[in-house]
Structure 1
Amino acid sequence: MRQITISFAVVSPGAFFIGAVLPLLCHTLEFSKKNSLTLASILLANNAGGLIGGILSAFFLVGLLGIWGSILFQSIFLLVMGTIAIIYKFHGKLRLGVSGFSICVVIGILLLPRDFPEKLFIKTAGGKFLKPLFYKEGNTSTVGVTRDPLDGERQLLINGVNEVSTRFVHDQSFAMLGHLGMLLHHFPRDVLVISYGAGISLSSAITHSPGHVVVVDLEKDVFPASKWFSDLNGDVLSKKWIKKIIEDGRFYLVSTSSMFDVIIVDSTHPRSIDSWLLYTREFYVTSKNKLKKNGIIVQWLPLHGMSLNEFKIIVKTFLNVFPEAQLWANFGYDSRGFVGYVLLVGSKSGKIVVDFKELADKLKKPEVAKNLEKYLLSSPENILNCYIAGGGRLGKWTEGLPISTDRNPIVPFVTDWSKGKRIHPSVLTQILDPEGPPVTNLPEYAEEYVSNFNIRYYYLGHLLRGELEGAMEKAKDTSLIERFAQERQRAIEYYRKVALSSFADSQILSSGLKIIRELGDMDTLREVVEGINKKQDKTDALLFEEALSYEAMGEKQKAILIYKKILNEKENVVPAMNNLSRLFAEKGKFKDALKLLSKSRIADPNHANTYMAIAEVKSMLFDFDSALDAIKKAKDLSPDDPRVFNFEGKILIQQGKFKEATASFKNAYRIDPFWDEPYLGCGIAYLQIKNFRRSIECLKTAVILNPKNSEIWLNLGFAFKGAGMIEDARISFATALGLNPELKDEVLKEVQRMGKDESQKK
């Protein structure tokens, strides 16, 4: 709605005068055979003017006068033309009145603020408090650089979209984009960078001393804008030997006769209106044709702003051209929360194998090491930890999905593929390769890295889920985790400042509450919520986040009151009805809960969380068959939600259907392999059917993922006991008791039983 409003405000002045002048000119003529030629000439001139005006505006006026200046110029020109027509047609007071009115309108237009587009640009960038450092309206894009006064962060914005920032993980991704292809290729000499951005990827690539580098960007104004990022790009534009070309990247690939060892595609978000053409099959085919024999392409891809299916479609499209492609990623906390980015890597020759010794040697080069040290990626192990999966795993993951083509570009539009689960770094746990990347030429000191692949697997799994404590326990080098912990604290402090500032509107407050809650800082959350209590005119979105925050803080009665307030003001807010019904059920108000859920289902019959809530309430009432019916509907609507399968498993255990329960739990941990609950549930189900070996396998995995859960250790003790592994059972029971002293009676009872069993055997 905001974009529609802004577009209307910008376009309406010119559109009004364009629409008014033509009929006015025609009206000045008398319709007769005598002047029919004149009327036809006016219509012809109008059509020609529309064509020529569009070309002049795009290629000359915008560059000369800017967007707002071009609109004002056209408006004044059309106003003058209309006034001349009226003066020609009418006489006396009317002519005088129209002339006076026109003069007043022209003066009014000239008095309009010339920085209106810039202010509009800043507002769309995310806040009126941002300080502009650079602003330029180009022929193809509007480029701006802003600074956030709260923490000094800078952003490069193109057409109002954040393309580059000075956030740690964001810049780490651009550095990796520039380095990865150069590290994987044995001898990269000719390099093409499509999309300059702020120059971070380009500056990273040239540390490897290539012989010939071309950077192509459609908008010339990104080059001067990048001076505000010289601390990150090493003032790369001062390197005169780099060839800069102002051109569409794809057109350049088609038209050039040059061939490249490495192509680096620093394209913007695939849903952007000007970037989707860099994510189609035809683009990848063109790129492959411009690679030398062992050439490598690396493309940046964000882990936000699209559905899981849309993300998979892009991966599937890339695989269609590069069947042995690899997916690498960097992820973690920075000053705006938990984020991640992906690099798609393909080779013209097929499979990519990392030469460990060559990689280590390249990383020893002073310029390369210096560039990567600030991102904590200067060791071979840290680089290889960015590897997620190869072509085989990616192919299975994307089975059944279409590919994106020029004629059928799926991702930039809202389609059925836009529905469902959103992309997030944690999704990559589904394809994380336990064996790591294919590596050759390992020196003796690197054999430890390969032998620790199992630890690496769980370390990355915790990290992809944002679980720093779990990752810290398994990390050989803790420096990156420590940096993420610092960044997480920075994020909490930043959103606290934003939320408590005088300029915070409801949208900013909603985002701040959500992120602080997700980051788990209850003290800061309470401080912000107390500040929000004083605010008037809260939006539904802000009220909803406030209610969720009270739930997180354990103040459920306050949450209930807010949910009721939301529903009093707007009757059919489905998330509010679902959450309120769950709170009613916890208080034993099952009738009220089911009544609300019935209304919720009518309001939106395709909301998976509604059926999950119905299942929860029905299971509390021991109506397990109805609960499973609701779960079946939730699975149909949200087949990628591990919570649905996990809850199904719990219900089946309560029904005594243990074998069926194991299948549900397996589906849950297939979707989220690093969530301990499904492994615990599966272990308990196997325990009930006395399949102790399988129970031990599941519970051991659960222990690795969450070693501080006493319930896991307790059940592992039962499984070991059933398998006759008495010493292991004792250790498990002792660990459970150490974690939870309330288990004392139960543990002592089991230990005594084991003692009696042993004495009887003797």
Structure 2
Amino acid sequence: MRLIVGDGRSHLLLTPRRYDVIVSEPSNPWMAGVATLFTREFFEAARARLKPDGLLCQWAHTYDISPADLQSIVRTFASVFPQGTMWLIGEGDLLLVGARDGEIAPRLAAVEHGCRKGGASSLMATLGAADGTAAFTILSLYAGGPRELARYADDALIQTDDRTALEYSAPAAIYGPSVAENAVAIRALRPELPPPIRDVTAPASDASWTSLGAVQLKAEAYSFAYDAFQQALSLNSRNAAALAGLSDAAAGSRRPQKAREWLEALAAREPDNVAVRVELSRVMAAAGDFQGAIEESSAALRLAPQDPRVAEQAAAVLADAGDGDRLAPLADELAARFPDRPDARYYRATALFLRGRTEDAVTVSRQLVDSQPAHARAQNLLGAACATLGRTDCARAAFEASIRANPREASTYTNLGALLLQTGDARSAAESFAEALTIDPQSASAHNGLAQARAALGANPR
């Protein structure tokens, strides 16, 4: 690798070298001078430095940009790379990939071939894609080819060096459209898929769609994730991972009721579907409907008494409800029947904590996290138990380990915030409570904690 530090556009204009691939990922066009990296002259400079079969990949964003500006970027790109494609990455990023020469469609077959080599699969795994789904995950992001670029761009303004309207219009749109508006418009193009993409996506299994949902969920593209999980469930309504993903995606987009209603309808159609009853119980418990959650988990237990996951969901409901007396015998039964399952030990520790046996809860939860350090809930429980006993260092280390294992759990940030406030670190406490509220804006404990932290900062601003 050769690193060149300098102005990228100047390098393209001055270097004699030609490249197989050029990737342009500048800052947002509302930054001073950046709009010149979205002009026709820039794209022409990049095209001139590509080898005959070379590709340009241009990044753009769908958030905080007006439809007219995004269409202008697309039309400007297509004016130089008529054989171009669009790829929608999550709900906020758009990749424009264009070929210097020849048609782009036949080259899409290389994606599947490249994914079979192994490198792409290992890379996609870091994004949440399951093994063997790399080609499907990548190709499912296809949003359009040359015809869709032309249809979307319509007669939008072509940006040029001597008429860079984007320099002035982009800042004005920062607080305009939502992230979803432009992404929804691009998805609505519904392109006719080229054969290399159709051959991979058409026969996709529920496992492949679940994997795509997991990738979108990790990217916080909640609406897209919800659609992917729903597609998976249309193929297999008993896919537990897809059911859980559907609920998580709905919660991420702050529409948990949507998932609950969908799950209730599915449970009514398929009364013997254990997986949907387990997930419905989880959704009800998250909404505070513990009685409904207990009823659903009990129904699931009657259908599948030998399934440890069903018993664990019943235990989870009792734990969330704070019912240590009813949880204790169920947790002991879980630990006796399924001693190798980490959650059996977790619920046993939870029952001990809820019944006031805090020292014993610390012992059991510490044994669990020593063997399962990525068990986020066990780390959170250990932190709460240590905090109750006044062991500040133990509590903080456990809360921080829990956050590393699962950075999307609001209660852990709230617990850490309460600990930091108790130790006099009001500023860090406020940051922790604020983080909790970005995940769960309705959290009363996080709201109260943030108010107390701000009050403490007001009394002692240093």
TM-score (norm 1): 0.34
Kindly indicate whether the alpha-carbon contact (under 8 Å) linking 1:703 and 1:713 is maintained by their aligned counterparts in 2: yes
Q: Report what 2:71 is aligned to.
A: none
1:607-756 pair list within 5 angstroms: 607-671=341-405, 677-678=411-412, 680-688=414-422, 692=424, 695-706=425-436, 709-716=446-453, 719-720=456-457, 726=459, 728=461
Rounded to whole Å, the distance in 1 between the matches of 2:320 and 2:409 is 25
Rounded to whole Å, the distance in 2 between the matches of 1:205 and 1:275 is 31
Q: Report what 2:101 is aligned to.
A: 239
Rounded to whole Å, the distance in 1 between the matches of 2:376 and 2:293 is 26
The Cα of 1:702 is off from its aligned counterpart by 2.0
Q: Report what 2:134 is aligned to.
A: none
Q: Report what 2:303 is aligned to.
A: 569
The Cα of 1:622 is off from its aligned counterpart by 0.6
Instruction: Say which SS state the counterpart of residue 232 (structure 1) adopts.
Output: strand
The Cα of 1:727 is off from its aligned counterpart by 6.5
Select 2:249's aligned residue among 504, 507, 518.
518
Rounded to whole Å, the distance in 2 between the matches of 1:607 and 1:587 is 22
Change over 3 Å in CA distance of 1:205–1:638 after alignment to 2: farther
1:212 aligns with 2:51: yes
1:556 aligns with 2:290: yes
The Cα of 1:699 is off from its aligned counterpart by 1.3
The Cα of 1:631 is off from its aligned counterpart by 1.3
The Cα of 1:625 is off from its aligned counterpart by 1.9
The Cα of 1:186 is off from its aligned counterpart by 4.1
Q: Report what 2:30 is aligned to.
A: none
Instruction: Say which SS state the counterpart of residue 374 (structure 2) adopts.
Output: coil
Kindly indicate whether the alpha-carbon contact (under 8 Å) linking 2:342 and 2:368 is maintained by their aligned counterparts in 1: yes
The Cα of 1:231 is off from its aligned counterpart by 6.0
Change over 3 Å in CA distance of 1:205–1:555 after alignment to 2: farther
Kindly indicate whether the alpha-carbon contact (under 8 Å) linking 1:269 and 1:301 is maintained by their aligned counterparts in 2: no
The Cα of 1:268 is off from its aligned counterpart by 7.5
1:596 aligns with 2:434: no
Change over 3 Å in CA distance of 1:629–1:492 after alignment to 2: same
Rounded to whole Å, the distance in 2 between the matches of 1:537 and 1:615 is 33
Instruction: Say which SS state the counterpart of residue 239 (structure 1) adopts.
Output: coil
Q: Could you say what the CA RMSD is over the residues aligned between the two structures, in angstroms?
A: 5.3
Q: Structure 1 regions of 5+ residues with no counterpart?
A: 1-181, 194-203, 217-228, 250-265, 281-298, 308-329, 336-362, 371-375, 380-421, 428-463, 467-483, 730-762
1:219-618 pair list within 5 angstroms: 232=86, 239-240=101-102, 274-276=116-118, 303-306=127-130, 466=220, 488=223, 506-507=237-238, 511=242, 514-516=245-247, 518-520=249-251, 521-536=255-270, 538-584=272-318, 590=324, 592-618=326-352
Kindly indicate whether the alpha-carbon contact (under 8 Å) linking 1:680 and 1:712 is maintained by their aligned counterparts in 2: yes
TM-score (norm 2): 0.52
Rounded to whole Å, the distance in 2 between the matches of 1:671 and 1:184 is 41
Change over 3 Å in CA distance of 1:564–1:681 after alignment to 2: closer
The Cα of 1:651 is off from its aligned counterpart by 0.9
1:608 partner letter: P
The Cα of 1:621 is off from its aligned counterpart by 0.4
Q: Deviations over 1:314-358 (max 9, x none)?
A: xxxxxxxxxxxxxxxx9xx999xxxxxxxxxxxxxxxxxxxxxxx
Rounded to whole Å, the distance in 1 between the matches of 2:117 and 2:340 is 32
Q: Deviations over 1:563-599 (max 9, x none)?
A: 2333333333222212212334566764542332233
Kindly indicate whether the alpha-carbon contact (under 8 Å) linking 1:696 and 1:716 is maintained by their aligned counterparts in 2: yes
Q: Deviations over 1:38-91 (max 9, x none)?
A: xxxxxxxxxxxxxxxxxxxxxxxxxxxxxxxxxxxxxxxxxxxxxxxxxxxxxx
Q: Structure 2 regions of 5+ residues with no counterpart?
A: 1-6, 22-41, 56-82, 88-95, 132-137, 144-157, 174-212
Instruction: Say which SS state the counterpart of residue 613 (structure 1) adopts.
Output: helix
1:697 partner letter: R
The Cα of 1:531 is off from its aligned counterpart by 2.1
Select 1:190's aligned residue among 7, 10, 18.
18
2:431 partner letter: T
Change over 3 Å in CA distance of 1:506–1:700 after alignment to 2: closer
Q: Deviations over 1:172-204 (max 9, x none)?
A: xxxxxxxxxx969944853336xxxxxxxxxx9
Change over 3 Å in CA distance of 1:186–1:651 after alignment to 2: farther
The Cα of 1:637 is off from its aligned counterpart by 4.0
Kindly indicate whether the alpha-carbon contact (under 8 Å) linking 1:510 and 1:542 is maintained by their aligned counterparts in 2: no
The Cα of 1:635 is off from its aligned counterpart by 1.2
The Cα of 1:623 is off from its aligned counterpart by 0.7
Kindly indicate whether the alpha-carbon contact (under 8 Å) linking 1:495 and 1:516 is maintained by their aligned counterparts in 2: no
Rounded to whole Å, the distance in 2 between the matches of 1:568 and 1:626 is 32
Rounded to whole Å, the distance in 2 between the matches of 1:648 and 1:573 is 27
Rounded to whole Å, the distance in 2 between the matches of 1:593 and 1:624 is 15
Q: Report what 1:460 is aligned to.
A: none
Rounded to whole Å, the distance in 1 between the matches of 2:418 and 2:11 is 51
Rounded to whole Å, the distance in 1 between the matches of 2:329 and 2:453 is 41
The Cα of 1:698 is off from its aligned counterpart by 1.9
Q: Deviations over 1:490-516 (max 9, x none)?
A: 7668877997xxx76524798367414
Instruction: Say which SS state the counterpart of residue 269 (structure 2) adopts.
Output: coil
Structure exhibiting the larger radius of gyration computed from Cα positions: 1
Instruction: Say which SS state the counterpart of residue 528 (structure 1) adopts.
Output: helix
Change over 3 Å in CA distance of 1:612–1:704 after alignment to 2: same
2:432 partner letter: A
Rounded to whole Å, the distance in 2 between the matches of 1:334 and 1:277 is 20
Rounded to whole Å, the distance in 2 between the matches of 1:525 and 1:334 is 27
Kindly indicate whether the alpha-carbon contact (under 8 Å) linking 2:380 and 2:398 is maintained by their aligned counterparts in 1: yes
Kindly indicate whether the alpha-carbon contact (under 8 Å) linking 2:247 and 2:283 is maintained by their aligned counterparts in 1: no
Rounded to whole Å, the distance in 1 between the matches of 2:388 and 2:235 is 48
Instruction: Say which SS state the counterpart of residue 616 (structure 1) adopts.
Output: helix
Instruction: Say which SS state the counterpart of residue 506 (structure 1) adopts.
Output: coil
Change over 3 Å in CA distance of 1:596–1:673 after alignment to 2: closer
Kindly indicate whether the alpha-carbon contact (under 8 Å) linking 2:278 and 2:297 is maintained by their aligned counterparts in 1: yes
Q: Report what 2:3 is aligned to.
A: none
Instruction: Say which SS state the counterpart of residue 192 (structure 1) adopts.
Output: strand
Instruction: Say which SS state the counterpart of residue 19 (structure 2) adopts.
Output: strand
